[in-house]
Each structure stands twice: as structure tokens, then as C-alpha cells.
């Protein structure tokens, strides 16, 4: 009890510090710490699946994206730092934040007793999906359309990043060129850690059917290993016009959508799986989806093309 109260105070404290921090980079560091503390909160709420996702995506990958964004912003418009948003805009933002927080608090506090839950039917029908982890059953069977839309949103976000490419660099290589230092510490860690990391990523993806884990968490670890090997200069990021890369990006959503549409013929509804074959179909969807998400996350971090293909 005391631990939970302390954790709650710490989370709120770090959140407040992240908001008031003047320096962008300091705020990003605060945000990453906040995400890790939030993962602890999820563990205390007996939700290890959410904790894993929060650590991998909410704190880790978003943290990397924000670190990149903060250095880019600092490089581009350092003279504009003195500019402050207008008082009315700030007041409106404060008012809106308070309104959203009050609405959420009201929803939680006004829940009927006992709170409405679908946990019992979800657990009762778990055997029909062939899965052992109810969270994965929700993500891949009961609410598969949410997962499909999440992946499409990720792809749209990547298109948004790519749309920032100047015309003459279109189809080029993302990010700056990292030269490999054969004696460098980063080369050493990339060579040592990448095989282990890929193994852990595949493991996290694979155990998702019976234990906490799954495609998003596994894909994040795979993407992190790809980022590490490009940062160390061992491999260069692929040009965004590469055919195999484009196919890799759409493989996951395409397979997901195809099997979803086939659900009309096989089981009478979109994204419905026929009895006794649910687990196999889910696995057929999950493998390309994991690879596609890993590629999307890597390319999101790599950023828009900065180097021409013909140089």
C-alpha cells in the first residue's frame, strides 16, 4: 500500500517535472523515466502485457523518436526559443487538460459496483481461439480490427514522415551516414548484442500466444536491433525506394486484410476465423505483421531520406 502510494506520487511528480522542464532534452529524459515508472504501475495492476508495451513502445521507442526530434528542433530554430505562446492559447490548453482529466476521473469514480466487465466471457471463449493468453486473444481475435487499424495508422505515420522529404532526395537513404569504427565501442556492442536481441525479440513474439508478449513488443526489440546496427555503421539503412522494403512494409497489413476478408467466406464475418483453424490463421497473420511493424518502427526512427541514392 505504502509502495503503491509512493509510486503514484513519483509518477505524478515526474509528469509534472516533464511539463515544467524548460529544456527540451531534459523534458524528453523526464518523459522516458515517466514511461518506465508507468510500466511499474501496470505491473502492480497485474497487467504485464501493458507494462511490456509501455516499456518497449511508450518509453523506449517514443523516447528515441523524441530525442531525435529534440536535437533536430534545437538545430533548426534555436533563435525562436524566446518566443512564448500567447496567454489565451496557454489558458485554453490548461482548461482543455483539466476538462479531459476531470472527465476521466468522473468516468472512473462513477463506475457502477461491480464494474462492468467482459473478462468472464473473454476467458470462457479462450479455447475457441486456440490461444493461452487472453490479451492476445483480445488483440488478434475478439478485437482484431483494432489491431489492424493500429498497424495502418503506423504505416500512415511513416508516410507522413516520408512526405517531409525534399523532391531531389525522394527515394534516397534515410538519416545521416554512420561510419563504422572497427575498434569502436558501438561496433562491439552491435556485433555482440544484435544476435541476442533478435533472439529475444522472436521469443517475446512467440510466447505472446500463451504469456505476456506479442507482435508489437517483439517487433520493437527487432527494430531496436536494426537501429543499433545502423547507428554503429555496420549496415546502412536501405533506400526507401527499395522494392523489398516496400513489400516488407505492406506484407503485414495485406495478409491481415486478406485473411480478414476471407473471414466472410470462411466464417461469415469480417475478421472472423473458422472453428479449429483460428490459431493457425492468427499465426499466419502475426509473422508478417511483426516483420512489417519492425520495419515501420525502424524507418520512423531513421526519419525522412537525407541522402541521394545516386552518390
Residues found near other proteins in the complex (CB under 8 A): 185-186, 188-189, 192-193, 196
How far apart are the C-alpha atoms of 152 and 78, rounded to whole Å?
A: 35
- Name the minimum Å distance from CB 141 to other proteins: 29
How far apart are the C-alpha atoms of 187 and 233, rounded to whole Å?
A: 7
- Name the minimum Å distance from CB 231 to other proteins: 11
Q: Is the peptide bond before 290 cis (omega within 30 degrees of 0)?
A: no
DSSP 78-132: GGGGG----HHHHHHHHHHHHHHHHHHHHHHHT--SSPP--HHHHHHTHHHHT-S
- Name the minimum Å distance from CB 224 to other proteins: 12
- Name the minimum Å distance from CB 234 to other proteins: 15
What cell does 18 get?
516533464
Is 44:7 a contact under the CB 8 Å cutoff? Answer: yes
What cell does 198 get?
533478435
Output the CA–CA distances (angstroms, integers) from residue 97 to 84, 102, 214, in the order listed: 19, 8, 33
Output the CA–CA distances (angstroms, integers) from residue 173 to 108, 160, 224, 234, 277, in the order listed: 47, 16, 18, 15, 41
- Name the minimum Å distance from CB 20 to other proteins: 20
How far apart are the C-alpha atoms of 172 and 239, rounded to whole Å?
A: 5
- Name the minimum Å distance from CB 192 to other proteins: 7
Q: 92 or 189, CB closer to other proteins?
A: 189
What cell does 255 get?
495478409
- Name the minimum Å distance from CB 222 to other proteins: 16
Report CA Rg, the chain: 22
Q: 189 or 269, CB closer to other proteins?
A: 189
- Name the minimum Å distance from CB 185 to other proteins: 5
Q: 152 or 207, CB closer to other proteins?
A: 207
Q: 21 or 186, CB closer to other proteins?
A: 186
Q: 61 or 249, CB closer to other proteins?
A: 61
Is 49:135 a contact under the CB 8 Å cutoff? Answer: yes
Q: 62 or 187, CB closer to other proteins?
A: 187
What cell does 47 get?
497487467
Please work out, in degrees rounded to the nearest 5, the angle formed at the alpha carbon of residue 94 by the alpha carbons of 90 and 95: 115
Q: 113 or 183, CB closer to other proteins?
A: 183
Q: 132 or 171, CB closer to other proteins?
A: 132
How far apart are the C-alpha atoms of 228 and 44, rounded to whole Å?
A: 31
Amino acid at each position: 500500500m505504502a509502495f503503491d502510494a509512493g509510486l503514484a506520487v513519483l509518477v505524478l511528480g515526474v509528469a509534472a517535472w516533464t511539463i515544467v522542464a524548460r529544456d527540451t532534452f531534459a523534458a524528453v529524459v523526464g518523459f522516458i523515466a515517466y514511461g518506465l515508472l508507468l510500466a511499474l504501475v501496470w505491473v502492480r495492476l497485474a497487467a504485464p502485457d501493458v507494462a511490456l508495451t509501455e516499456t518497449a513502445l511508450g518509453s523506449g521507442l517514443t523516447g528515441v523518436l523524441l530525442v531525435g526530434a529534440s536535437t533536430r528542433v534545437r538545430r533548426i530554430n534555436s533563435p525562436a526559443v524566446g518566443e512564448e505562446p500567447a496567454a489565451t492559447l496557454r489558458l485554453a490548453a490548461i482548461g482543455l487538460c483539466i476538462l479531459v482529466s476531470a472527465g476521466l476521473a468522473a468516468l472512473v469514480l462513477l463506475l457502477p459496483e461491480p464494474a462492468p466487465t467482459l473478462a468472464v466471457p473473454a476467458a470462457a471463449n479462450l479455447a475457441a481461439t486456440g490461444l493461452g493468453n487472453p490479451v492476445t486473444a483480445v488483440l488478434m481475435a475478439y478485437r482484431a480490427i483494432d489491431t489492424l487499424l493500429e498497424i495502418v495508422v503506423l504505416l500512415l505515420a511513416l508516410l507522413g514522415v516520408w512526405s517531409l522529404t525534399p523532391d531531389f532526395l525522394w527515394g534516397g537513404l534515410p538519416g545521416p551516414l554512420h561510419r563504422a569504427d572497427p575498434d569502436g565501442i558501438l561496433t562491439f556492442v552491435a556485433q555482440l548484442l544484435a544476435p541476442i536481441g533478435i533472439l529475444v525479440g522472436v521469443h517475446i513474439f512467440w510466447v505472446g500466444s500463451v504469456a505476456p508478449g506479442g507482435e508489437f513488443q517483439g517487433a520493437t526489440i527487432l527494430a531496436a536491433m536494426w537501429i543499433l546496427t545502423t547507428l554503429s555503421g555496420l549496415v546502412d539503412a536501405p533506400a526507401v525506394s527499395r522494392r523489398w522494403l516496400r513489400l516488407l512494409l505492406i506484407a503485414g497489413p495485406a495478409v491481415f486484410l486478406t485473411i480478414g476478408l476471407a473471414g466472410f467466406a470462411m466464417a461469415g464475418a469480417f475478421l472472423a476465423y473458422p472453428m479449429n483453424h483460428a490459431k493457425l490463421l492468427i499465426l499466419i497473420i502475426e509473422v508478417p505483421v511483426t516483420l512489417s511493424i519492425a520495419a515501420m518502427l525502424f524507418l520512423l526512427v531513421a526519419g525522412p531520406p537525407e541522402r541521394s541514392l545516386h552518390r
